[in-house]
Amino acid sequence: MKASEAVRDDIKTIATAADKKSTKTHPRISGDFLFRNLSAAVAMLVAITLLGILIALWREGWDALHHFGWKFLVTTTWNPVSEQFGALVFITGTLVSSIIALVIAVPVSFGIALFISEMAPRWLREPVSIAIELLAAIPSIIYGMWGLLVFAPWFANFEPWINSHLGAIPGIGILFQGPPMGIGMLTAGIVLGIMVIPFIAAIMRDVFIITPAPLKESAYAMGATTWEVARKIILPYTRTAVTGGIFLGLGRALGETMAITFIIGNANNLSASLLMPGSSIASVIANEFTEATTPLYKSALLALGLILFVITFVVLVLAKLLLLRLDRMEGRQA
């Protein structure tokens, strides 16, 4: 009994000695260990950037948020001279311009996706797809210049018509009354709509194409028209992803800066009319940041950035979750 225990102890010491020796003869850290951990560390760094953004903007905006409290979100005064800051005008401007953008972009994107996936002859598919994708490649600032110097003066020609026709509708008429200046909330929303079309259309096209052919073909075999297949087969099958794509476009629209800064008119007050100039969160930051000389002013602008980040973050998370649902249905990996 005792002897066997001694033997076991002996074996243990020999084994530990051997272990020590082996680590001594191979003191270098293996390439695998290094590579795996280095890449993992870098990936974690990328992942925590979002958290970093949140913390950094929170710290920088804290002065203003602390100073004004909840009133920062619900007051409309924005007066750098008297240091009174409220974000409501800009939050409203961001939301209104984005909603106008979606009203234009969603039906147009649906039409484009339908055309590419179901109607276009094979040779036409790629050129049209590329053209729409290039719309996304053009920088925001070019949209802004074009919007301010070309589109707005042209669009101003239609505004008297909008005034007299849409403006005369009781109830919503007030939205369309105002001076025909060309620049303003409506123009900004329209340009924003053109800018988000490629993002929404690309997702719709992709998911329309992956709708299983047997589903579509069964419907066609039953005598359904192309429109009925689109409306009753493709759309129900891809509904969550289509919604996700729309949210992704909304996320883009909310944070769009340069184009809006050029066209929205940069007026720091609320007006009911869409033809009047306004401001969005992004446009006021871009316009006033370098002029903000007092700490509270700068902090208020950074707090606006935080609000924008939180809004877009929520929208984008929703978008991704909706898009992942279809991926899972398809059995693809997230």
The residue within the footprint of other proteins, chosen from 7, 17, 42, 74 (CB under 8 A), is 42
- Report how far apart, in Å, the C-alpha atoms of 167 and of each of 171, 173, 211, 242 are: 9, 4, 43, 33
**Binding to other proteins, residues 106-125 (CB under 8 A):** 107-112, 114-116, 119
**Binding to other proteins, residues 278-317 (CB under 8 A):** 282, 285-286, 289-290, 302, 305, 308-309, 312-313, 316-317
168 contributes a contact to other proteins by CB under 8 A: no
46 contributes a contact to other proteins by CB under 8 A: yes
In the complex, the smallest distance separating the C-beta of residue 17 from other proteins, rounded to whole angstroms, is 27
For other proteins, the closer CB: 11 or 153: 153
The residue within the footprint of other proteins, chosen from 9, 11, 18, 49 (CB under 8 A), is 49
In the complex, the smallest distance separating the C-beta of residue 134 from other proteins, rounded to whole angstroms, is 6
**Binding to other proteins, residues 234-253 (CB under 8 A):** 248, 251-252
**What is the distance between the alpha carbons of residues 259 and 138, in angstroms, rounded to a whole number?**
11
The residue within the footprint of other proteins, chosen from 130, 168, 172, 272 (CB under 8 A), is 130
Q: Under a CB-based contact definition with an 8 Å cutoff, are residues 288 and 301 in contact?
A: yes
- At 75 the three-state DSSP class reads coil
For other proteins, how many residues bind (rule: CB under 8 A)? Answer: 87
Enter the DSSP assignment of 30: P
For other proteins, the closer CB: 119 or 213: 119
In the complex, the smallest distance separating the C-beta of residue 88 from other proteins, rounded to whole angstroms, is 19
The residue within the footprint of other proteins, chosen from 21, 52, 217, 232 (CB under 8 A), is 52
**Binding to other proteins, residues 65-104 (CB under 8 A):** none
Alpha helix stretches (DSSP H) within the chain: 2-25, 31-68, 71-74, 88-114, 122-137, 140-146, 152-155, 159-165, 185-210, 213-221, 226-229, 235-237, 239-255, 258-263, 281-288, 295-329
In the complex, the smallest distance separating the C-beta of residue 279 from other proteins, rounded to whole angstroms, is 14
In the complex, the smallest distance separating the C-beta of residue 321 from other proteins, rounded to whole angstroms, is 9
Q: Report residue 75: phi and psi, to 5°.
A: -100, 155
Helix axes 295-329, 281-288, angle to 10 degrees: 140
Taking alpha carbons only, the member of 240, 263, 241, 127 closest to residue 194 is 263
Q: Under a CB-based contact definition with an 8 Å cutoff, are residues 184 and 264 in contact?
A: yes
The residue within the footprint of other proteins, chosen from 32, 81, 170, 171 (CB under 8 A), is 32
Q: Which helix (H) or strand (E) holds 76?
A: none
Taking alpha carbons only, the member of 129, 92, 95 closest to residue 112 is 129
Select from 62-70, 158-166, 171-179, 256-264 the region that touches other proteins (CB under 8 A). 256-264
Q: Report residue 275: phi and psi, to 5°.
A: -85, -15
Per-position x/- string for 208-237, each x denoting binding to other proteins as judged by CB under 8 A, each - no binding: -----------------xxxx-x-------
